[in-house]
Structure 1
């Protein structure tokens, strides 16, 4: 056949197997994601997953309930997306991964919002029927549940959204009450009068988990306590205490000293004019703190007279600073003992600790040990009782959360009484209500407690017979903590925590469903009515009417009828701590629901690290009290979300970024990818620049998927090539897949999403896009129906099924889009398939070692060609035919056994064992390889663009032999 002289004008592009796909380069996620959400809802994907999972081993991640009172913040998004990663990956690895979302619905924040509304309307909350008030709280919660549900679903989170759990559902309220009544029956419930964290603004007790700490500037005072019983040189000496809460001085009942601390007797020799210290005055102080105290008192010179022993201190009795004060009516004319206390330290103060048993836990403990009296001077609104001499009615904290006059009044009274040695201001951390953001106080008040060290009569003693013992045993023996530091954190908290304050003096919640005997003391054996029949009636009523039944007229008589005389008992009207509500969720979600677990124990709880003192702990304590062990087998914690500079997000600083904002600008998959790229076990950062980087990673990954889709157009099962018949390059990619399969599964199982994504991203962008795809584009585009092209497409098909399913738990929308591009249809979804099993027989470590050498050599060649391209010697690597000198015989043999020119994407390439000449290109990290550039000889093939000597010698004059065969 003669040469075709018109061949140069032929458009060979139409003869190439170029990629064909409708998959767009631009994702358009914000606009398109809602369509996929609607599609999933239309096909009922969650319920179909449950059908698919029937008979599989269940995996239950129990949802920690968010609070139903506002839009989601970025921390909510982080939390729910992490949970979604887990449930989706577990499902696709062969489990039945059920996920029931839930909401915490009771409690002060909602009640507070309704009260604010009342104040705006000029209504008096106390004049509103309690059931009506509770109904308004319920409606408020219902509204925000609806809002948050839509916001969570928009993030691509799958779950039983049409049937979530709510702590305000009637069954939930019935179970919460039932769980509480188990404490009533097993002996852990008691009423006690002790200091608890109290919010004067909200007029209720708070748990430690409801308190956050902020820096404030407070008063500080150094106060003299004069001895009544001292003799010798101690007779005129003053014991000095230091406190930042002057308002507690009226409640002082003792002073504590440290038995192991070194004390001295100090004399003031001179002082400044405005000092309250008197020359010649003697003071008892801890030696380590004396200089600081004397400096605060503006003492100029002083003398240390002698040591003062613990025995001498223990023999002293002191006078209250207000003893004998005019108009006090003898209120403070009592002796104040000086007592040894192990809690006294030399860290700050004077070495002597003012002790008010009604206003501090350590003070209370010391008081209990030594029989000190409790005081009841502070009212629920944070004011002194009206009849307290000198200070009656004065506020410690006002209703708007600001400081009242009580501190200043006490400072003035101390000065007038001659007890004030010094005063000042100090900036320090102080507890605040996490809801009102107002300061709280320790206040002695009758409350209901769960005793965590009391022996329980419940027959559940496998892990101990007290709540604390069971909790500590669960932490150490039954629970896996991720990260492990979480174990140490919660263990130390549980090991030292006080009894659980269960009662709240509010209206919106589950009441403490118990009755107390009229006129009886909490110490009386029959103080509490304990009767299972009463409990059963309460539970049955709550199942029908919810907790509102407790407030219905005649309810007491109804449940006590035929069992006890209603006139002999009064119902407790406090409501339960909402942490008890959420701590009980294991019972009405895990135990009671059809999609729960057989043993009522979750595989995993996942929340922020602050929940070691919150939900993790309340769930642990509640379950240990009622079922004898932790309600979870695993606990995973994540850190907090900060801005790009590492600062805490704050509306006042203007550095917040909300999930809705990210979704509207970038799409939910970008937000999910941000979660996958972070180390969630530490605090994470987010902001515009970080999200731009995430979006760039997404685009690179999307291009990888687009290339596969385009190259797999019209791929059929008949095109498949068995692995053993594939070229080495394809078998090397299969080896990498076998490696990755184990890595991905292990990573998902260990909740290492950052590791999983990093490995997959590097594989997709480095092993595939920059290596395998780069090399095989030529065969895919230009080969005819060759074994090489069919093997490459077989590998692409294998890659497609693994990458889409491996990435589906993270990029839920994008992988669905990718999947539907190949498998359209109303019932089709990547989320309805499992990760395919990858034969470990594909692993070939010897082959992998060989290709590691080949890739090292390729890097030297491509780097050498890049120099030529930069210097404008060539425009593309196909213009080159370099000589590659290889010193290592094993590597040379490896390179000679493959089409190394194709691997380097050159038109030709010469391999040589000769020593590399001095002018050859080398890479310092790859010894023994030198590259000498040479241009390719011949003409450029108009179809594949290789420069080859045979171009022009075929029927199609503008093509090479390979392209000639493809055209024929």
Structure 2
């Protein structure tokens, strides 16, 4: 190219001769508006189904823990489903046939409660509605919310078999749930028992531990006096008059108990003490005016608690004295009277002598050192008297389903522990007042403590003895198989150690729960669910072998009906005769009408999803279960119990758990506080990819925080990555296979990039394999921003823009192509929409999608550890140079690094030789550079972390090339005016 010159030479414009990036990829993402179009495109081209057509792949299945179908999604749902989606997509791209069947939990109290609320608003009585009509309304309600939630999940970019999800209310699912229940019936672990269970008076049903949450509650607290008497039928030591006399001072003394549930006092049957606790006998010597203690009263108390207890009674240390030690042996020869014994109008209800014995669960760190026992309302007491064979003597039935004392209970009949709204009833006050009236109280007060509440109604619950159906977890399972143990507990504890837990603490949590858990309460006293499909023989005690009908023909009739009609068949008129007729006499049996705990429903999902579906697994075991950490006592727990009870093994190989989502201040989200964040609003403001990136950036194994400032930070990281991808797209605009360079012919800089790619490929795959998405993102993002944008791209920008058809430019573009295929696929499981946009910008043909790709195989030959070590040293020297130039730029000595020609003093001979073989001026983006082995002059710039390297600044000599802007001595000496030799060749 030549140009005429005149005295008024025009400045020549060489921009058109540069290889500037060309791309339509926008700087601004516009995700909220553009994401729905990609969703529609994936549906149109059938991405999920096309992936299933890939043959010869090893199966990988994540089994979905079913969300509940009763409302819009919250941020916890978004976190949960996004993590699942990243697991599914990443394993697909690592070469698996990675399948995901979304599921929903459709039965249970929350839905039933909603329909009841609608009835109450209309003045309609649920009990007057035919049960299957009511159940139909519950089904319709659940179906509506399944549809709503499905679209909300899809909007988050979650892939899966959305057209054929699993629902626990599908007829086949209801059939299998009943079938799985009947396996417990047939293997002998099912029994009916009457024991204390957590009971919701508001919802009038038993609750499992997983259905309970703990909140602070203010409760009444009382210190109650039980009068002691010497048990004359068992004297201490026969003939030992001295010991008999020593016990005389205990006769008429009071054993004091403390309780935060005064309403349980009418059901008291015993008091227990600790055999290794130090007890004393205390006498009252003085009293204030308002005090229930009387001078001369003697009290038996644990020494460690005596001062506190007597202080509660308004007695200071001058008003009582300790008479002597009292041994456990002496206590064993006492008997007690209930404080309401012989009270006028009690009709003898509490006149029986109360049992008094030692128990292991008694402590002297709280209360009085004695524990009041109402085995109908406390599990420890129940188990104590069960093991003693004394349940018949101590079980009461004083509290009704509504949380009311039975009408005929003296003094308290008809009073409520909790009212229908879950608020404090009048029972506690009635009990306290009566105890005070008869002189049974030593002190009273209130306490704020953590107390169980129903997670649905948010109302407090009570422990209440009521007949329920249980699966015995310590009884040998009669299935004829010794699968890691003969009991459900043994099998479960063994299987826990055959599972991989992420994080590892999940194993310990579930293991400790399984070690300590009681029998599984299977029954609920509600209507919307799968019934306990069993029959009991009339007039037969539950302990008899023939109490439960165990008949395969009857079972077969039930499952056949459920498959065709669903569980509604159980409630149809004449159902008992239909199922029992011609097998046994229907009149001899009662049909059980309780429904199954919904945790049994969800615990059985592995059977009708993994085992029965074509897109399930061959062995019925999932590769992954992934839910929140609360599911150690929920779905992980019930699934394990159900599966080991019926198959002897766990239904999962990996269990992954995430923490809870908190607001930006670390507070739990609550509608009442007003700090909830709805996924839909994040998607509308930022786009689903920003929400997904927030998930990837967090350590999901712990609790996570989210808020506006946090999301703005996420969006900033996204923009930086987007710019990296945009740069690559622009530089690869017209790249073809003809431009590709063989790695062996590439410069060292490109081979270093390939080495990093090979390292990163192994790291990314390993992290995806162990579900470490935060690690994947950090590794890839750090590589993209530091190794690429701030280093490699910065250096190679000159060759890409200004070179002609050189080795350097062709190598750089070849590396950019290799980078493109890896970065887009590595990040596709996280940024599903953005990586699709990036992919389609290069490959826009019909049916194309990044989500149809696998992670490219990366040749091991790219690994070059020696080269990487060398370039680590080179980058360190470069860091000193760039820092030195930044000082000059800050002081406005230069405007750009191309104006510099620094001298670099390198003490190490090997490092200096390495730099001599490289275009070090290009690496430092200077026009010229000199490397010297001389001693650095005083005042030379240095960095303490890079010893043996110093820099002396100098300005570049020559003219500025009008095309590449380097300052070189040869500018203007070529055929093309105003350019350097390299640019002259490129233009020519």
Q: TM-score, normalised by structure 2?
A: 0.97
Decide whether the 8 Å contact of 2:2 with 2:977 is kept in 1: no
Return the offset for 1:373.
2.2
Aligned pairs (5 A) from 1:545-944 = 545-944=565-964
Asked whether 1:402 is paired with 2:423, we answer yes
* Residue in structure 2 matched with residue 432 of structure 1 by the alignment: 453
Deviations 1:489-514 (CA, angstroms, capped at 9, x unpaired)? 01110001000000000000000000
Is the 2:220–2:444 Cα contact (8 Å) retained in structure 1? yes
Rounded to whole Å, the distance in 2 between the matches of 1:354 and 1:633 is 45
Q: Would the aligned equivalents of 2:2 and 2:976 in 1 still touch at CA under 8 Å?
A: no
Give deviations 1:359-417, integer Å, cap 9, x for gaps. Answer: 01001112213314210000000000011111011000100000101001110111111
> Is the contact made by 1:950 and 1:960 (CA closer than 8 Å) also made in structure 2?
yes
Kindly indicate whether residue 350 of structure 2 is the aligned counterpart of residue 348 of structure 1: no
Could you list the per-position Cα deviations for residues 160-187 of structure 1 after superposition, in whole angstroms to 9, with x for gaps in the alignment? 0010000000000000000000000000
Q: Is it true that 1:461 corresponds to 2:482 in the alignment?
A: yes
Partner of residue 5, structure 1: 5
The answer as to whether partners of 2:526 and 2:595 remain within 8 angstroms in 1 is yes
After superposition, give the CA deviation of every residue in 1:599-651 in whole Å (9 maximum; x if it has no partner): 10011100011000000000000001111111111111110001111111112
Distance 2:500 2:32 in 1: 38
Distance across 1 between alignment mates of 2:903 and 2:983? 25
Residue 335 of structure 1 corresponds to which residue in structure 2?
A: 353
Counterpart Cα distance in 2 of 1:533 and 1:522: 22
- Aligned-residue offset at 1:456: 1.2
Change (3 A) 1:744 1:219: same
Q: Give secondary structure in 2 for the equivalent of 1:22.
A: coil
Candidates 229, 248, 252, aligned match of 1:236:
252
- State the secondary structure of the residue aligned to 2:341: coil
- How does the TM-score come out when normalised to structure 1? 0.99
CA distance in 2, matches of 1:416, 1:60: 66
Q: Which residue of 2 aligns with 1:414?
A: 435
Note if contact 2:376-2:465 (Cα within 8 Å) is conserved in structure 1: yes
Alignment partners' CA distance in 2, 1:801 and 1:491: 44
Partner residue in 1 for 2:153: 152
Q: Contact between 1:8 and 1:958, CA under 8 Å: does it hold in 2?
A: no
Q: Which is further off, 451-460 or 570-579?
A: 451-460
| Contact in 2 for aligned 1:267/1:303 (Cα 8 Å) | yes
* Distance in 2 between residues matched to 1:249 and 1:919, nearest whole Å: 88
What is the CA distance between 1:714 and its match in structure 2?
0.7
Q: Secondary structure at the match of 2:385?
A: helix
- In the alignment, what sits opposite 2:52? 50
Q: Which position in structure 2 is the counterpart of 1:125?
A: 126
Which residue in the other structure is 2:237 paired with? none
Aligned residue in 2 for 1:283: 299
Partners in 2 of 1:859 and 1:4 — Cα distance? Answer: 44
Measure, in 2, the Cα distance between the counterparts of 1:308 and 1:121.
Answer: 64
Deviation at 1:3, TM superposition (A): 8.1
Report what 2:236 is aligned to.
none
After TM superposition, where is structure 1 displaced by more than 4 Å over at least 4 residues in a row? 1-4
- CA apart distance, 1:423: 0.2
Question: Aligned with 1:335: secondary structure?
Answer: coil
Q: Which residue of 2 aligns with 1:261?
A: 277
In structure 2, distance between residues paired with 1:346 and 1:804: 64
Alignment of 1:14 with 2:16, yes or no, is yes
1:55 to partner: Cα distance: 2.4
Higher mean C-alpha displacement, 517-526 vs 246-255: 517-526
Residues 542-579 of structure 1, C-alpha deviations (whole Å, 9 max, x = no match): 00000000001112111112211111111100000000
**Residue correspondence of structure 1 range 536-547 to structure 2 within 5 A:** 536-547=556-567
Task: Indicate if the aligned counterparts of 1:3 and 1:953 stay in contact, CA closer than 8 A.
Answer: no
SS in 1 for 2:5: coil
Which of 315, 339, 360 is residue 378 of structure 2 equivalent to? 360
8 Å CA contact 1:460, 1:627 repeated in 2? no
Aligned counterparts of 1:702 and 1:778: Cα–Cα separation in 2: 21
Which residue of the partner structure matches residue 200 of structure 2? 199
Q: CA deviation at 1:712?
A: 0.2
Equivalenced residues, count: 966
Higher alpha-carbon deviation: 518-527 or 105-114: 518-527
Q: 2:413 maps to what in 1?
A: 392
State the distance in 1 between where 2:16 and 2:558 align: 80
* Maintained 8 Å contact 1:229/1:235: yes
For residues 256 and 814 of structure 2, what CA distance do their matches in structure 1 show? 85
CA shift, 1:8, in A, is 5.4
In structure 2, the partner of 1:306 is: 324
Q: Distance in 1 between matches of 2:641 and 2:846?
A: 47
* Aligned-partner Cα distance in 2 for 1:506–1:49: 43
Distance 1:2 1:601, change over 3 A: closer
> What is the alpha-carbon distance in structure 2 between the residues aligned to residue 953 and residue 444 of structure 1?
102
Counterpart Cα distance in 2 of 1:187 and 1:417: 49
Match of 1:172 in 2: 173
Q: Distance in 1 between matches of 2:96 and 2:347?
A: 74
8 Å contact 1:3–1:955 — kept in the other structure?
no
- Matched residue, 2:80: 79
List gaps (5 residues or longer) in structure 2.
232-246
Once residues 671 and 469 of structure 2 are traced to their aligned partners in structure 1, the CA distance between those partners, rounded to angstroms, is 37
Matches of 1:790 and 1:927, distance apart in 2: 36
Q: Against the structure 1 CA distance between its residues 599 and 2, is the aligned structure 2 distance closer, same or farther, given a 3 Å change threshold?
A: closer
Structure 1 distance, partners of 2:304, 2:910, is 74
Alignment of 1:36 with 2:38, yes or no, is yes
Q: Distance between the aligned counterparts of 2:255 and 2:891, measured in 1?
A: 86
SS in 2 for 1:61: strand
> Is the Cα contact below 8 Å between 1:4 and 1:957 reproduced in 2?
no
From 221, 227, 245, the equivalent of 2:261 is: 245
Aligned-residue CA RMSD (Å): 1.0
SS at match of 1:265: strand
- Secondary structure at the aligned position of 2:942 is classed as strand
SS in 2 for 1:150: helix
Describe the SS at the equivalent of 1:99.
strand
Counterpart-to-counterpart distance in 2, 1:245 and 1:721: 81
Partners of 2:230 and 2:250 within 8 A in 1:
no
User: Aligned equivalents of 1:310 and 1:140: distance in 2?
Assistant: 60
C-alpha distance in structure 2 between counterparts of 1:684 and 1:108, whole Å: 30
Q: Which residue in the other structure is 1:89 paired with?
A: 90
- Counterparts of 1:596 and 1:932 in 2: how far apart (Å)? 68
Mapped contact 2:229–2:252 kept (Cα < 8 A): no
Q: Take 2:908 and 2:871, find their aligned partners in 1: how far apart are those partners? A: 15
Maintained 8 Å contact 1:65/1:102: yes
| Deviations 1:412-450 (CA, angstroms, capped at 9, x unpaired) | 111111110000010100000000000000011100000
CA distance in 2, matches of 1:382, 1:767: 67
Greater displacement, 609-618 / 293-302: 293-302
| Higher mean C-alpha displacement, 360-369 vs 316-325 | 360-369
For residues 835-885 of structure 1, give each alpha carbon's deviation from its aligned partner in whole angstroms, at most 9, with x where no partner exists.
Answer: 000011101111001100110011111111111111111110001111111
Distance in structure 2 (CA, Å) of the matches to 1:822 and 1:859 = 34
